Structure 1
């Protein structure tokens, strides 16, 4: 018999640290068996499958998978392998390159833990809560399973420390978008915006990547005590761009300018000869300003307040008083309305005189003889 035919093929011996390739032949709950061409199948304990916590081996591999593994223990009757070690070596090299070149990449959030998020980057990466977003997040529950754009902000291979940031990516995108908006926006533009913050002096509105300020004086044509009386956070409003300061990244906006003004089409709503009810808003030396429509005031000159001679408007009027006025003139271009109280008094006296005269004719008495010339000044 040929002795060569009886030779047993030499089986390759493995040493700790060797890298081997193998095919998954069986997946159990806590270990995986791999055919690596050795006399015994290699074993991957669940702890060596992934750098992240998994409950069962099937969470990481399936039968038939071809794997590259590192030998952790090598004996004749047992070979312990690690997928995690190979993945970690590749991941460290990859992360160091990304860190040095400030590369932005995507990774899936695998778990939400106290203080932040855990992501799979070939090993365990951590995003501290303060580096998740550029704004405060109440709960991170919805982030599990979500892909995030990330940058590596800290690496320490000896400490197995990988710190990542989504906030850095978001802030860079926001800054880029802000510059784009600043470069394109022009005074006079009317835009849709979302109310972000309400302050004592006005409202900050997001107009597509940058916030502009609507000063409280630009919220309404009417006087505004509190901005929250007019708008609320999250509300979408139309605003007009008043000015753009690109150097200081400041944009002034107006809500008032997008709304119909109290003087719009005033000549159609207020005409000469109209008799209107109004409220005395201000008293000045030369007359009284009377509001006849919301936001629309007209002037009753002192000479048009009374038929009697008066030294000051305060002698017959007070602020807040309701009065009837007659429209003498409307000037839309100058936003001026001339009003008269005296004219209505004259008309009333003339009407009274006619009534007296009518009654006088029927009674046979001479009214003029009774009251003399007291009505002459109204004729």
Structure 2
């Protein structure tokens, strides 16, 4: 049985797409029809490249979005001003490296407004365009299965911080209620829904560094509770969840271990669980799944990241096959899908990996998965 292939979602955007996105971001005049046409062309090309690389379960590359979390400011009311920037704690431990990143332009530039009013949907029009573009491209290039990313309530609260609701819990609840229709629209279209949840790991050393690990786990559990509320009525088999510790090259010495987040991750109402296992800080954590095999629900499908998204090394297919075989040995090859550690285009116009190399990595991933036939 050949292990299927997918990835986390975002992929490199063309310069035309980036220029349109930032013109809109800066409030400049731009051709709205030209914007829509550029997005449709770019999604078709992105899907073509995924198919050419051997990706089975494709996405639109998050083409039209400024980023995987802050896009909500354009589709929901209640956001304005600017949120404080919190550097990850590991970078603060190495100030010379942090300065080098900042001086080299290695920090994405985009608006992160606060929540300053009631969060309500402006309608699903932009989402429906994204869905149409992806499904059209899938039909054109012969892929039956695709997924679309959406921000989780927790990750929105991480990047677009609360300055309106009485408590953080009330803010999470409002976000869950507001995002519910977006999630349902994606699933109703026939696509799988992917929830991006770096709040379950990255926020440990960005927003909650003063807490103990045990205290943070309680915070993360409340995030999953809000997410599960938003997913009520959606079949778990249509849902993917992605956890990560931050898609950047850095020390990552402050990352909370997977062992401490395992139970929280498994409690999410999602059949597919995507997580990092390729980068040097988390590559060893496949043993958590081995040692907790009895605690992995029978309906869960593991999607380990078998290619790193912060380095331009192209992993050898044999290494990818070795990584996949570990998880196949735990839950069986029918419950494993090959994935990436994170996205290759997390922020528009910003990515550590060269676009051509990103697709070379996906091709190597497909070749590695095929070795386990």
Q: Same-fold call, TM > 0.5?
A: no
Provide TM-score, normalisation by structure 2: 0.17
TM-score by length of 1: 0.17
Kindly indicate which of the two structures has a greater share of residues assigned to strand: 1
Choose 1 or 2 for highest CA Rg: 1
Higher relative contact order (CA 8 A, sep 6+): 2
